[in-house]
Structure 1
Amino acid sequence: MALDAYSQIVSSVAAELTPKVAAVTAGRGSGSAVVFTSDGFLLTNAHVVGRAKTGTVAFSDGVSGDFTVVGADPLSDLAVIRALGTTPRPAVLGDSDALVVGQLVVAVGNPLGLAGSVTAGVVSALGRSLPARSGSAVRLIEDVIQTDAALNPGNSGGALADADGHVVGINTAVAGAGLGLAVPINSTTRSIIAALMSDGRVRRAYLGLVTTPAPLPPDIRERVAQRSALRVMEVVPGSPAARAGLRAGDLMLTAGRTPVEDAQGLQRLMFADAIGKPLPITVLRNDALVDVIAEPVELGLSTI
């Protein structure tokens, strides 16, 4: 019997990606990883490799071998590993920003140790946030993709692909029945991958703020041409934010002259190139616009 259009799409994506998704074993952890370069680099979750420095990969064609961990970033739950042997042709990394709710997606991984497993579903929601932790530092993984494609333990680090077989996410968590989450492949993620490949880690800037999104009153919206801002709930004593004069209750409108309407908007600015450089910030305080200059420091053990 001829396959219908839906089945044809799923089977073609499966045929394209299954050879490129490896089963990963690292210490006590296991999961999946996606080949994304022609010279043996694979993308997976940080929680899959944990603290391991080496491990093994096994592909659907029976080829297996060792790998080394190039870099891991628990605050984005991403890691880059490099296979020491031959690898299949790389998968194509797509653009999660082009996804829409209801769009078909296909998950490829190794759930429960079952190699080369494929499930399909739709994008259930976009823009979700997933807390990630490294020590006492907590960061929101921004714009997480929610899907109803069945995910199980072992899918972590595997591919979430669109109908063209392009990898738009790295499966990272199962939040409940019919509720899977994937780290998006977007410009921020690509920056993290590049940092892991070049430096083995991701350097982040630190301000010392606790914030929450807050809608702006209609009269303020007209003045500043944005609908929401970040309300400063707490300023860490002695932090760059405190030295700049930011106060609890301030409504942060812009940072680096870029509107910030949610935590993700601020996080996008908090990478290595912001460390030690003046960061202009505009806040609304007592109905007046106040400009301050903060100088972020590097996020590290001394700041968390």
Structure 2
Amino acid sequence: MQHKSLVALFLAALLGAAVGTGVTLGLMRTATPAQIPAPPVQPPLQPAGTADPVVSIVKRIAPAVVSIQTLTPGQQTFFGVTPPREGQGSGVIVTPEGRILTNSHVVAGSAQIRVRLSNGETLPGKLIGQDRRSDIAVVQVQGRNLPTAPLGDSSALQVGEAVVAIGNPMGFQSTVTTGVVSALNRTLAPEPGTLLEDMIQTDAAINPGNSGGPLVNSRGEVVGINTLIISTAQGLGFAIPINGAQRVAEQLVERGRVARAWLGVATVPLPEEMAAAVGLPAGTGAYVAEVLPGSPAARAGIQRGDIMVRAGGQPIRGADALREVIQSQQVGARITVEVLREGESIEIPVRLGEAPAS
């Protein structure tokens, strides 16, 4: 519910901008529980014989970038069977044994996956798992000592930081484009059932076929998975942060699906007037607009009208902060939620459940 509210607000803002300027915006996909250890810090690239570090970045990462070709069988319709459909996207090898990160929408519904390596060799691919909500999928090819791309820390990204996108747009293998991180923490809903949160916005050119390819920082580390563009604009591309993509991928490998922690409340930011009335600084607290029946929140005694001020030891500064706290927890984790109710501060222990399938 909370996610739907946020998505509705975001789409309303986009629609308002489109009406006011006479421009139609379109989101376009660019495809034709263990603790995660901190990734090792890669040394800064020191290009030899060239003043352009992009050359060294490409030499490090491009060998691990693959082209993914899919075949989706025809479907029965009122008018007959549709012909099979071919698709194309990109991916990045993350283990020497051939584990590949890509987008769910690149491989969704496919009956056959073929992976073309940077050296031109083509191998059959096996879908290990996919998560439609985060748009991440894991594909496996049989290989040994394959080139891999080092993974960075997307939480360390800064707006204005230089980035490089590598992929196979329109079938042109190993195409390189450059740009900067234009913004962080964007939320997009390209289709029902898919909610892309904390997205990296970049002006590095991303075109059809780039989906699933890496977005790379100036240290030669993958910090994002290129995912979509706004088709009616220029320089508006988006990538999934690698930290979240890696968490999803590990769950897909371990259990074939993603289990997400769930509290079961819908919240809205606390209006400044209400915050002042209860003695909270502006921009803090989240108002509980709904408690889902049978949810962990309902069982713990959280009520509609409560004002959440802390969860899991973290202060709540708006609805996004609560979502981030819950998403950082494992299913079954026990946290304490502090609420204000009729002027009284109450600490409520909650055991988080598993989010229902969307």
Q: Does 1:181 align with 2:243?
A: no
What's the secondary structure of 2:95's corresponding residue? coil
Partner of 1:10: 54
What's the secondary structure of 1:11's corresponding residue? helix
1:287 Cα offset (Å)? 3.4
Residue type of the partner of 1:82?
Answer: Q
Q: Does 1:69 align with 2:127?
A: yes
Q: Does 1:148 align with 2:148?
A: no
Q: Which runs of 5+ in 2 are unaligned?
A: 1-48, 73-86
Structure 1 segment 147-166 matched on structure 2, within 5 A? 147-166=202-221
1:272 Cα offset (Å)? 9.8
Name the CA shift for 1:100/1:19 in 2 (closer, same or farther; >3 Å): same
What's the secondary structure of 2:250's corresponding residue? helix
1:76 Cα offset (Å)? 1.8
Identical aligned residues as a percent: 41
1:268 Cα offset (Å)? 4.2
Structure 1 segment 26-175 matched on structure 2, within 5 A? 26-28=70-72, 29-52=87-110, 54-85=112-143, 88-131=146-189, 135=193, 139-141=195-197, 143-175=198-230
Name the CA shift for 1:199/1:263 in 2 (closer, same or farther; >3 Å): farther
Residue type of the partner of 1:196?
Answer: L
Name the CA shift for 1:102/1:289 in 2 (closer, same or farther; >3 Å): same
Higher strand share: 1
Cα distance in structure 2, aligned partners of 1:283 and 1:240: 15
Contact kept, 8 Å, 1:77 with 1:132, in 2: the verdict is no
* C-alpha distance after superposition, 1:141-182 (max 9, x if no partner): 2x2111000111211110100112111111111124211111
1:269 Cα offset (Å)? 4.5
Partner of 2:256: 200
Cα distance in structure 1, aligned partners of 2:328 and 2:157: 28
From 283, 287, 293, the counterpart of 2:339: 283
Cα distance in structure 2, aligned partners of 1:127 and 1:272: 16
TM, length-normalised to structure 1: 0.84
What's the secondary structure of 2:285's corresponding residue? strand
1:81 Cα offset (Å)? 1.2
Of 64-73 and 24-33, more deviation after overlay is shown by 24-33
Cα distance in structure 2, aligned partners of 1:132 and 1:300: 20
Cα distance in structure 2, aligned partners of 1:155 and 1:42: 15
Q: Which runs of 5+ in 1 are unaligned?
A: none
Cα distance in structure 2, aligned partners of 1:215 and 1:39: 52
From 294, 299, 303, the counterpart of 2:355: 299
Residue type of the partner of 1:184?
Answer: P
1:44 Cα offset (Å)? 0.8
Name the CA shift for 1:87/1:64 in 2 (closer, same or farther; >3 Å): farther
Residue type of the partner of 1:291?
Answer: E
1:140 Cα offset (Å)? 4.8
Q: How large is the RMSD of aligned CA atoms in angstroms?
A: 2.8
Partner of 1:241: 297
From 50, 53, 64, the counterpart of 1:20: 64
